[in-house]
Chain A
């Protein structure tokens, strides 16, 4: 039996559709409340600067946000207004300004290092049988899956027979990899050793070693960020160098992140990076930070160490020799003070 299809008035049908449209809860608006950790870096290509730039989620050190240098054209109005209020003049577009990272500036990536093919060597090693090899920064495993290849250069032969460079060619179409590091700095006082020469007959000492805590430049009020092609961790000055007048580092530093840039396959190494490249970020810090010297500086000035040596003169070399003499009474006290001089600080998260 053929079933009859009912006849519905078209106005009734359309009224039903209107009613259904009104009643169905089909529109969802979801506001993202995703938590983004401090120091999160978001790189992007800037048409205005014709360069790669990045923004950074504000992080704090001891509750104070760092500043970073950028071009005025990439700074926010808040930064420019603040500078105009402080200096009485609004910066020009291409002028360098110090923006606070809570003012949402864009920061230019000034220079990068190459990793993998085309990279510069970090060191050279010998295997003892006459072969020399350069050491390169290794390509992170993540980028090997994109086809990035390691740079490999080996020297064969020895110094008598001659050395031949053997370069292993990698696939020409492999993408290029560049990187830069974002580093956080905090100023601190540094120890500097001053040597005051004396006359053993008149002054009862041949030299005075005086440790001064200070800086060659005024300390910045707040921490600061810098973008560098390759961050090298700070090494404390050795005692010998300190005696020769080298000062301790005047800041503590910690790496915040490395930004990697990956080219499309077959990109010419001669050309600068452009918007066809893809940026990846490897974060090293995920929390706000605290910073403090490892120890509280001595509240009273350090008494100068008097060195009584058999040497007339008092040049640094002779002083150093006398310091090394275990019989010298001043040796132990000098060593103690020099070892304890260090005001290097430590970072921790909060």
Chain B
């Protein structure tokens, strides 16, 4: 029934029109169910549609204009940092001592279109500096007793592997930039879990060094979900 049918002509009986109006109002009644809450208040009725399918996972990359935010997650129980205006800030918007940053928004990573690959690929990646023991280097304990390190950082790279500079890289998301580099057309999330990081090293044996004195250690960075 449309509101056009509720209208009347001159001389039409009020009762007929009234009954049509009641039927219409009845048809619009909102029925609560598993996904819909209906709350009647003196100021009006509040209808809330619950979206249970929303998946709020760690390291969710959210693009806003020319910057990205990453929802909090952990790597070996450490919170990664983002460099914002030259300052390293934790992605959970807390300072080094674990206190909430008052008056500041969550840190955002400014995207640099010049750092995109030729075909417009941008990766928001985890960058890890390994320690000698195979974990993450520079881990300290803050005043709150939390483990912290600035060597777990979220950066922009132009490939999934990242640059070959000795650090471990793993992409959280792949962003496709428009052909003019002015906007992000698509976001593909890659990581959905907190991460455990390990560096496996295979150092040259004495025998290897005898054969080749310049033999270098081979190693690999492993990223495992937790």
Given A7-B14, A82-B119, A290-B223, do A65 and B3 touch, yes or no (CB 8 Å)?
no
Given contacts A34-B53, A102-B188, A299-B216, contact A63 B160 (CB under 8 A): yes
- Interface residues of chain B, those whose CB is within 8 Å of chain A, are 3, 6-15, 17, 21, 28, 47, 49, 51, 53-55, 119, 123, 125, 160-161, 170-171, 174, 176, 186, 188, 190-193, 195, 200, 202, 204, 208, 211-212, 215-220, 222-225
Partner of A300, one of B10, B15, B174, B212: B212
B191 touches A288 (CB 8 A): yes
Taking CB atoms, residues of chain A closer than 8 Å to B7 are 13-14, 17
Say yes or no for A145: interface residue by CB 8 A criterion.
no
Cβ contacts under 8 Å, B53 to chain A:
32-35
Residues on A facing B (Cβ under 8 Å) = 5-8, 10, 13-14, 17-18, 20-21, 24-26, 28, 30, 32-35, 58, 60, 62-65, 82, 102, 287-288, 290, 292, 296-297, 299-300, 348-350
Identify 14 new A-B residue pairs, CB closer than 8 A, beyond the known A60-B160, A288-B190, A297-B218: A8-B14, A17-B3, A17-B6, A18-B3, A21-B3, A28-B47, A30-B49, A35-B54, A62-B161, A102-B176, A288-B191, A288-B192, A300-B208, A350-B223
Whether B188 contacts A60 by the Cβ 8 Å rule is yes
Task: Knowing A65-B188, A292-B222, say if A102 contacts B8 (CB, 8 Å).
Answer: no
Other-chain contact of A6, B14, B123, B161, B170 (Cβ < 8 Å) = B14
A70 to B199, CA, bound (A): 38
Minimum distance in angstroms from B73 CB to a CB of chain A: 12
Is there an interface contact between B14 and A63, defined as CB atoms closer than 8 Å? no
* Contact A28–B15 (Cβ < 8 Å): no
Least CB distance, B65 to chain A, in whole angstroms: 20
Asked whether B8 lies within 8 Å of A33 as measured between CB atoms, the reply is no
* Chain B residues within 8 Å of A33, by CB: 51, 53-54
Contacts of A82 in B (CB 8 A): 119
- Asked whether B188 lies within 8 Å of A58 as measured between CB atoms, the reply is yes
User: What CA separation (Å) do A65 and B12 show in the bound complex?
Assistant: 68
Cβ-defined contact, A63 with B171, below 8 A: yes
* 17 residue pairs A–B, Cβ–Cβ below 8 Å: A5-B14, A6-B14, A10-B8, A13-B7, A13-B8, A17-B7, A17-B21, A20-B3, A28-B49, A35-B53, A60-B171, A62-B160, A290-B222, A296-B200, A296-B202, A297-B218, A350-B225
A12 to chain B, nearest CB (A): 10
Instruction: Output the least CB separation between A289 and chain B (Å).
Output: 10
In Å, the complex CA distance between A296 and B12 comes to: 89
Quick check: A296 and B220 within 8 Å, CB to CB?
yes
> Who on chain B is nearest to A9 by CB?
B10
Chain B residues in 8 Å Cβ range of A64: 160
A32's nearest neighbour on chain B, judged by CB, is B53
Query: Do B218 and A296 touch (CB < 8 A)?
Result: yes
Complex Cα distance A14/B17, Å?
A: 10
CB distance from A225 to the nearest CB of B (A): 16
Q: How far in angstroms is the closest Cβ of chain B from A277? A: 29
Name the residue of chain B whose CB is nearest to the CB of A303: B211
| Nearest CB in chain B to that of A34: its residue | B53
Q: Which A residues touch B202, using CB under 8 A?
A: 296, 299
Q: In whole angstroms, how far apart are the Cα atoms of A102 and B175 in the complex?
A: 11
Given contacts A63-B160, A292-B222, A296-B200, contact A350 B208 (CB under 8 A): no
Q: Give the residues in chain B near A6, CB-CB below 8 Å.
A: 14
Closest Cβ of chain A to B68, distance in Å, is 16
With A and B bound together, what is the CA distance between A102 and B222 in angstroms?
A: 25
- Inter-chain CA distance A296–B215, complex, in Å, is 15
CB distance from A191 to the nearest CB of B (A): 17
- Nearest-CB residue, chain B, relative to A287: B192
Partner of B218, one of A21, A60, A299, A348: A299
A244 to B77, alpha carbons, bound, how many Å?
A: 50
Query: Which 4 residue pairs across A and B have the least CB separation, nearest first?
Result: A63-B160, A35-B55, A63-B171, A34-B53
B186 contacts which chain A residues (CB < 8 A)?
A: 102
Closest to B225 in A: A350
Known: A63-B123, A299-B204, A300-B208. A24 touches B28 (CB 8 A): yes
Complex CA distance for A25 and B12, rounded to whole angstroms: 28
Chain B residues near A20 (CB, 8 Å)?
3
Min Cβ gap B67→A in Å is 21
Name the distance in Å between B75's Cβ and chain A's nearest Cβ. 12
Give the chain A neighbours of B15 by CB distance below 8 A: 5
- Cβ A10 vs Cβ B54 within 8 A: no
Max chain B C-beta neighbours (<10 A), residue from A5, A7, A28, A35: A35
Closest partner residue, chain B, to A60 (CB atom): B190
Contact B55 A65 (CB under 8 A): no
A11 (CB) vs chain B CBs: closest residue: B10
Query: For A65, what are the chain B residues with a Cβ–Cβ distance below 8 Å?
Result: 174, 188
